[in-house]
Amino acid sequence: MKISSRKLDKATILDVSGNIDMSNSPEVRKALLHEIREKGVTRVVLNLTGVAYIDSSGVASLVEGLKASRESGSRFVLFGLNESPREVLKISRLLKLFEVYDDEAQAMAS
């Protein structure tokens, strides 16, 4: 799995590629909390286009990011969910909690 970040307007976009599971989900958590809590970014956008699989530990990292963004008054947005990540969020009844967009343009226009 790889995570890279880029700035666009006032947002930080985190591009993730590969699968997110128990072996690497702490890296996702760390990257999200770094942007939200330490850098104080007002909008963090997570690009999951390149992620085919997320397990429950990856979902937990996303939930931590969401909670941190709510606590700090920032926004946490997802886009590009493939079928498997979307299904696991649905089973967990968490899909509706997140702001989810189809692509980057929609996510940035939101």
Partner 1 sequence: MNPVAAKQPRGMKKSSKTNRAFLLKLELRSHPTLLCVIRGALEPLMDMLGFSAEHTRAIIRAVDEAVANIMRHSYHGRLDQPIEVYCNRLQRRANGEPEQGVEILLFDCGLAVDTTKLPARSLDEIRPGGLGLHIIRGSMDTVEYKRAGRLNRLRLVKYAHPSKGECGSPEENLS
Applying CB under 8 A, does 3 fall inside the site for partner 1?
A: no
Cβ closer to partner 1: 17 or 57? 57
Among 4, 6, 8, 23, binds partner 1 (CB under 8 A): 23
Applying CB under 8 A, does 75 fall inside the site for partner 1?
A: no
* Interior angle at CA 16, CA 12 and CA 18, nearest 5: 180
Residue with tokens 């890296």: 27
Among 12, 47, 61, 74, binds partner 1 (CB under 8 A): 61
Applying CB under 8 A, does 57 fall inside the site for partner 1?
A: yes
Q: How many residues bind partner 1 (CB under 8 A)?
A: 24
Minimum Å gap between C-beta 3 and partner 1 is 17
Cβ atoms 44, 36 nearer than 8 A: yes
Applying CB under 8 A, does 16 fall inside the site for partner 1?
A: no
Alpha-carbon gap, residue 73 to 43, rounded angstroms: 9
Orientation of helix 25-33 relative to helix 56-72, angle to 10°: 10
Residue environment code for 60-96, b if the CB has 16+ CB neighbours within 10 A, otherwise e: bbbbbbbebbeeeebbbbbbbbeeebeebbeeeeebe
Q: Write out the residues near partner 1 by the rule CB under 8 A.
A: 19, 21-23, 53, 55-57, 59-61, 63-64, 66-67, 83-84, 87-88, 91-94, 97
